Amino acid sequence: MANPLQPKVLSILKQEYTPFVINLMSASTSGNMDILACINGMMYGFEIKYKNDTPSELQKERINLLREAGGRGYFIRSVEQLRNILENKLPSEYYPKKSEFIL
């Protein structure tokens, strides 16, 4: 089932935040974010989650890599959350790696 939030997010980004570039990752490699956008010189990555979707460990690691490169990455579930992030320039969250046990 397609995520109905994705076209709404794209529309808001294009109309309200006039990104320099926006890239929709419709058939991307596993773990890549759904939307990449450069807004006011900052690189943003958005992984759009719908209903009970949960982020994978690979998606969390991709957000960490974007942060390390100077960008910001987010998991979002609503257009209100998107606006809050962009209007308040909220930093992206860091996701610690799960511990690996050696037996």
pTM score of the predicted model: 0.86
- Digit-coded pLDDT (tens) for 22-70: 877 665 677 788 899 999 999 999 999 988 888 999 999 999 999 999 9
Helices (H), the chain: 5-16, 57-68, 79-87
Report pLDDT digits (tens) over 70-97: 999 999 999 999 999 999 999 999 999 8
**Domains by residue range for the chain, with CATH:** 5-87 (3.40.1350.10)
Q: What is the per-residue pLDDT for 23?
A: 77
Type of residue found at 89: K
